[in-house]
Amino acid sequence: MVLYSPGRTSSYPEEAVKEGIRFHFLGGGNEVGNVGCILEDVAGTRLLLDYGLAPTKPPRYPNEAPKVTDCIITHSHIDHLGMAPWLASHHSTRLHGTALTGEIAMPMWNDCYKVSRIEGYPLSWDKRDIDEAVDLWQSHGFNEKITFHNWKWQLLPAGHIPGAAMVNIDTPTHRILFTGDFDTRDSKLVNGAEPIECDILFVEGTYGGRSHPPKKPEQERFLNRVTEVVSRGGTCLVPAFANGRTQDVLMLLHQNKPNLNIHIDGMGKFLAKLYLEHPEYLRSSEELEAAMIWAKKVSSKSDRKKALDADVIITTSGMLDGGPSIWYMNRLRDNPNNAILLTGYQARGSGGRKLLDEGKLPIFGTDIPIELEVDQFTFSTHCGHDEIISFTKQCKAKHVVVYHTDPLQARPPLVAALESQGHTVHCPVNGESYTIID
């Protein structure tokens, strides 16, 4: 598969902006993930916000970016930075973000590259491009004011995962806030995002129309299920995403079930180490450190065998698509006392989705029926519908652009609620340009 055929393939217009602010989603406008958004004003000042890919099978890529000198990366999930190595190698684009996002970027790119090879979907960048991206990275602290031509911008805490930022841009005509992925609720790892007043708010609408269950009872439901499985002599397999979820779940267990025997496996161990090197992005580095000391870290084949006797195994992949979780599943599946506790969203086409819908899981190429108890818990660190509405109200934004959303299910209820709150709402489609003047 050839991505971005030679010559000009970008959807971005060549005409200059005549008035106001132009925005153009290369991806992530009317879909979840795969984000890339260009902002430009009449002076020709132009920034790209995020440049990711959607890790579906096959992956989805944003449209080709036009020449941009600077790109701000909101956070280190692959659907927000997966295509940054391409930008670095094709346009020598400077990449900006928090120090922790910069630190995590390299292992995320390496992992993305490895997965693309295993799954047979070649990327449009290669390993050498990762080095270029690392060289072009510029780190910025929260609230640090950066002058960019006639604009000033700063990063603000977004909640979501450690190092995640919202982008606040002051242009001569508009105050803009771009949320990236965000959550106003505190998690074990990070404090929630705070609203600020702006004229144009770009808000992610992943959970439009859906309210999260209250956090505490959902956590208790999870902890009770763990106790149940352990007391009947079983092991809980907890598939979890490496970047954020693994550490959140580990801290929850450490604080509430300190007598359990917990093992963690997968890239989440390494990322926790990187988090701890940047304690300023954590709500409590002491609590994460204590949880990491407490847990048994799996780092060899014999460790992995020992982990089979654990009470709980937390491991990647979070959607049961390869990674150590499949190895464990293959060995735990014969004992009905064991259980699988899913901790995140299971995308269409993923192993976890197949397990929920059909009770089967592809293990080393063959669909195997799984008889174990399966339960799913909502530990999302995105705002739910109600948090989005309340945040937007507090931002007092005249214009609200709802992006990073399913256009059929999630966006309509969000648009209705936002319009009744008096905002002018915009629903971007990928590859189209829009201008906000007033």
Among residues 249, 246, 390, the alpha carbon closest in space to that of 316 is found at 246
Taking the least distance from each CB to Zn ion, the nearer of 48 and 326 is 48
Handedness of CA 201, 207, 211, 214 (dihedral sign): negative
Taking the least distance from each CB to Zn ion, the nearer of 190 and 237 is 190
Supply the minimum distance, in Å, between the C-beta of residue 181 and Zn ion: 3
Taking the least distance from each CB to Zn ion, the nearer of 28 and 85 is 28
Handedness of CA 258, 193, 32, 267 (dihedral sign): negative
DSSP letters spanning 237-287: EEE--TTTHHHHHHHHHHHH-TTS-EEE-STHHHHHHHHHH-GGGSS-HHH
Supply the minimum distance, in Å, between the C-beta of residue 111 and Zn ion: 15
Q: Which of 40, 181, 183, 199 binds Zn ion (CB under 5 A)?
A: 181
Supply the minimum distance, in Å, between the C-beta of residue 35 and Zn ion: 9
Taking the least distance from each CB to Zn ion, the nearer of 180 and 323 is 180
Taking the least distance from each CB to Zn ion, the nearer of 12 and 51 is 51
Among residues 329, 358, 323, the alpha carbon closest in space to that of 341 is found at 329
**Region 330-369 residues binding Zn ion, contact defined as CB under 5 A:** none
Q: Which stretch binds Zn ion (CB under 5 A): 64-72, 176-184, 280-288, 306-314?
A: 176-184
Q: Which stretch binds Zn ion (CB under 5 A): 31-39, 181-189, 291-299, 304-312?
A: 181-189
**56 DSSP assignment:** S
Residue partners of 220: CB distance under 8 A and separation at least 6: none
Q: Would you call 81 helix, strand, or coil by DSSP?
A: helix
Supply the minimum distance, in Å, between the C-beta of residue 345 and Zn ion: 11
Residue partners of 379: CB distance under 8 A and separation at least 6: 218, 222, 245, 248, 249, 343, 344
406, 207 Cβ separation under 8 angstroms: no
- Side chain identity, residue 397: A
Supply the minimum distance, in Å, between the C-beta of residue 381 and Zn ion: 8
Taking the least distance from each CB to Zn ion, the nearer of 77 and 212 is 77
Tell me, residue by residue from 37 to 76, as one string, x for binding to Zn ion by CB under 5 A and - for no binding. Answer: ----------------------------------------
Supply the minimum distance, in Å, between the C-beta of residue 408 and Zn ion: 21
Taking the least distance from each CB to Zn ion, the nearer of 166 and 326 is 166
Q: Which single residue is written with the structure tokens 């106790």?
A: 227
> Using the rule CB under 5 A, is 411 a contact of Zn ion?
no
Size of site (CB under 5 A) for Zn ion = 2
Supply the minimum distance, in Å, between the C-beta of residue 204 and Zn ion: 9
> Using the rule CB under 5 A, is 77 a contact of Zn ion?
yes
Taking the least distance from each CB to Zn ion, the nearer of 101 and 338 is 101
**414 DSSP assignment:** H
Supply the minimum distance, in Å, between the C-beta of residue 268 and Zn ion: 15
Taking the least distance from each CB to Zn ion, the nearer of 163 and 195 is 163
DSSP letters spanning 140-176: --BT--EEETTEEEEEEE--SSTT-EEEEEE-SS-EE
**49 DSSP assignment:** E
> Using the rule CB under 5 A, is 183 a contact of Zn ion?
no
Supply the minimum distance, in Å, between the C-beta of residue 205 and Zn ion: 14
Kindly report whether the peptide bond that precedes residue 317 is cis, defined as omega within 30 degrees of 0.
Answer: yes
Query: Footprint of Zn ion on this chain (CB under 5 A)?
Result: 77, 181
